[in-house]
Structure 1
Amino acid sequence: MRILAAPGDTWGIPGTTFLLGYAVLVGVSIWLAIALRRGVARGPAAESLLPVSDPFALALLTGGPLQAVQAAIAGLRARHLVTAAAGGGVAASRPPNNGLHPLENAVHRAIAGGRRHVWMLLADDRVRSAVGTVRKDLEQAGLVLTGPQRVTYRLLGLLPAPVLLLGAVRFLDGAAAGKPVGYLTMLLIVVIVVQIMLLLSGPPEKTRAGKEAVRSEIRRHDHLKPELNPSWGAYGAVGAAMGVALFGTAALYAADPAFAAESEIRRAAAAGSSSSSSSGTGDSGSSCSSSSSCSSGSSCGGGGCGGGGCGG
């Protein structure tokens, strides 16, 4: 069925025809933005994932750099290389052993250099470099987003923007010509709200594959849960680091409560996390009764718009 535009229609397109087409554009642009973002944040397929054996990589996945440093402190404590410092914090008690993880070695050197608290350790260049190396390994495994992927994720959130601009221009032209724009206004409000939400929702810290890797390792290391009071003597330094990596400082308090309390590890964690944190539905067009008429020759499905307005 051919739809003939009335002489006074904005852009030569009847209001209802534009509104329906615009609603489709809105829905497609929002769906594409969400679907493509999910694709960027998916990561490798679950069946291709290998177990993550590095406790510091898991700590970075679970709680970020702060938890990775805490896991390193747990590993050093289990090796008797650090002790609680007088007045709070951590102090080196012995020179480092061979075979330490690069992050453990960097943390120990920072502690030996006089940095006692967690937030001080995170400011050390050697510790930041070691954490960066662990992150690069996670990026290569597809468990966290790379820099370019994070940029792509943000840019995909702008997909509805051209559709929003189109609707805004139609609104202005229609309103200037005295055409009803009520339904177009409601649809524009929906697009604006969704666009703002997409812009505010930044890229995730880890991919869906990364989240699944953490869940899988928590199931595999269920025996390290703090409520089970695991023995560091039984599970060693790797077990100590893994416990903190997956279950946080509660694992340190469960295994070595005196050291955890004296080193103020929980207070340090709270201070570090507080300083580092900063962190739609489409509305379809309404149909009009065929028995009413619009003024100025505009139409709404061949009938009138009443006072509700059409698509300009």
Structure 2
Amino acid sequence: MTTSIVAGPGDTWGIPGPQFLWLYFGLAAVAIISVLIWRRGYTAGPSLRSARDLTATQAALINGDRRLAVYSSLAALRAAGCVESDKRGYLHQAAHLPTGASELDRAVYAVTRNGITTTGVQTHHSVREVLDRTEAELARDGWILDDQARRAVRTGALVVFAVLAIGIARLFAGISNDKPVGNLVLLLIPIGIAAFALLSVRRVSGAGKRILAKMRRDAQHLSPSQKPSWTTYGPQAAALSVGLFGAGAFWLADPAFAQQAELQRNIAQTGLSSSSYSGSSCSSSSSCSSSSSSCSSGSSCGGGSSCGGGGCGG
């Protein structure tokens, strides 16, 4: 013999508490899972099967930010003997630019003609233009998400916020109807956490992280832990070392120049890694968990009411 839950005359919204809890839990689970699947389509990025390795500038922009990209370029120029730093920390040209220098290397080299600080290089309009184009290419190819794409991804959180709003409305309705709402509160907490977590959108796509990891594996000989010689590997390898493993690679490879150019202070100010590639920014991941509360025959919801009555769901 089966029993059905019949709404009592005093049930909030005409739905008994236990029944509402199960319905609401199912609605929240479907909403969160659906949004996560939808987000994956935006944040997955391209397939790595046909992808080519990134340039040092591109790797630096994915791994860190524009400052790391400038540091990687300075590493190449320094390894080639093209730039030097005076006692004031100003960068100057020391030799002709070698053949095959990247677009960013040429831009950075040009602005050091009359002497300029490292911060001045980063903010110079010609350097910014190169970085603007490179970031646009990375976003177009799906390695990073630009501001427009990230805003679009954040809209998915509105679905979960709508579910949260329903639960909050039920909560206040249950309170005004003098019904126990303990279990509903416990259910609203993880849903609220999930909703706010979905507002966070990582700057680097899943494919961007994977290709960065692949390039690090292929270039382990350039890791700071291996103490690579930039003289042996050449300027582009020096740039790639900094781009893949962080600004600390510059400090370990050429501490005298790094100190003169005040790179240590810039590293400390930006939070870029001093030892490996852990200084990656604007890239974070968040995980959401949901929990459900079930009513047992021996538990009570407070105020002497048992779960079989109001069900703690208002």
TM-score tier after normalising by the smaller chain length: 0.7 to 0.9
Q: Residue 161 of structure 1 corresponds to which residue in structure 2?
A: 161
Identify the match of residue 28 of structure 2 among 26, 42, 46: 26
Is the alpha carbon distance of 1:14 and 1:228 closer, same or farther for their aligned partners in structure 2, counting shifts above 3 Å?
closer
Task: Report the residue type matching 1:187 in the other structure.
Answer: L
What RMSD, in angstroms, separates the aligned Cα atoms of the two structures?
Answer: 2.9
Is the alpha carbon distance of 1:180 and 1:225 closer, same or farther for their aligned partners in structure 2, counting shifts above 3 Å?
closer
Residues in 2 aligned to 1:271 and 1:168: alpha-carbon distance in whole angstroms = 42
Q: Residue 77 of structure 2 corresponds to which residue in structure 1?
A: 76
Once the two structures are TM-superposed, the CA of residue 221 in structure 1 deviates from its matched residue by 1.4
Structure 2 gaps of 5+ residues are: 273-280, 284-288
Q: Residue 311 of structure 1 corresponds to which residue in structure 2?
A: 313
Identify the match of residue 290 of structure 2 among 277, 281, 293: 281
Is the alpha carbon distance of 1:243 and 1:185 closer, same or farther for their aligned partners in structure 2, counting shifts above 3 Å?
closer
Max radius of gyration: which structure?
1
Secondary structure of 2:84's partner? strand
Once the two structures are TM-superposed, the CA of residue 142 in structure 1 deviates from its matched residue by 1.6
Once the two structures are TM-superposed, the CA of residue 288 in structure 1 deviates from its matched residue by 4.1
The within-5 A match list for 1:37-116 is 37-52=39-54, 54-94=55-95, 96=97, 99-116=100-117
Q: Residue 133 of structure 2 corresponds to which residue in structure 1?
A: 133
The within-5 A match list for 1:145-156 is 145-156=145-156
Q: Residue 275 of structure 2 corresponds to which residue in structure 1?
A: none
Once the two structures are TM-superposed, the CA of residue 209 in structure 1 deviates from its matched residue by 0.9
Q: Per-residue displacement from partner, 1:38-75 (whole Å, max 9, x unpaired)?
A: 342211233343222x1111111112111100011111
The within-5 A match list for 1:93-242 is 93-94=94-95, 96=97, 99-117=100-118, 119-199=119-199, 202-242=200-240
Once the two structures are TM-superposed, the CA of residue 237 in structure 1 deviates from its matched residue by 1.6
Residues in 2 aligned to 1:112 and 1:273: alpha-carbon distance in whole angstroms = 29
Residues in 2 aligned to 1:273 and 1:6: alpha-carbon distance in whole angstroms = 60
Once the two structures are TM-superposed, the CA of residue 162 in structure 1 deviates from its matched residue by 0.8
Is the alpha carbon distance of 1:179 and 1:261 closer, same or farther for their aligned partners in structure 2, counting shifts above 3 Å?
closer
Residues in 1 aligned to 2:174 and 2:226: alpha-carbon distance in whole angstroms = 68
Superposition TM-score, scaled by structure 1 size: 0.83
Q: Is the 8 A contact 2:175 2:181 kept in 1?
A: yes
Q: Is the 8 A contact 2:142 2:205 kept in 1?
A: yes
Residues in 2 aligned to 1:246 and 1:134: alpha-carbon distance in whole angstroms = 16
Structure 1 gaps of 5+ residues are: none
Q: Is 1:4–2:6 an aligned residue pair?
A: yes
Task: Report the residue type matching 1:103 in the other structure.
Answer: L
Superposition TM-score, scaled by structure 2 size: 0.83
Once the two structures are TM-superposed, the CA of residue 220 in structure 1 deviates from its matched residue by 1.4
Once the two structures are TM-superposed, the CA of residue 132 in structure 1 deviates from its matched residue by 1.4
- Same amino acid, percent of matched pairs: 35
Aligned residues: 296
More helix as a share of residues? 1
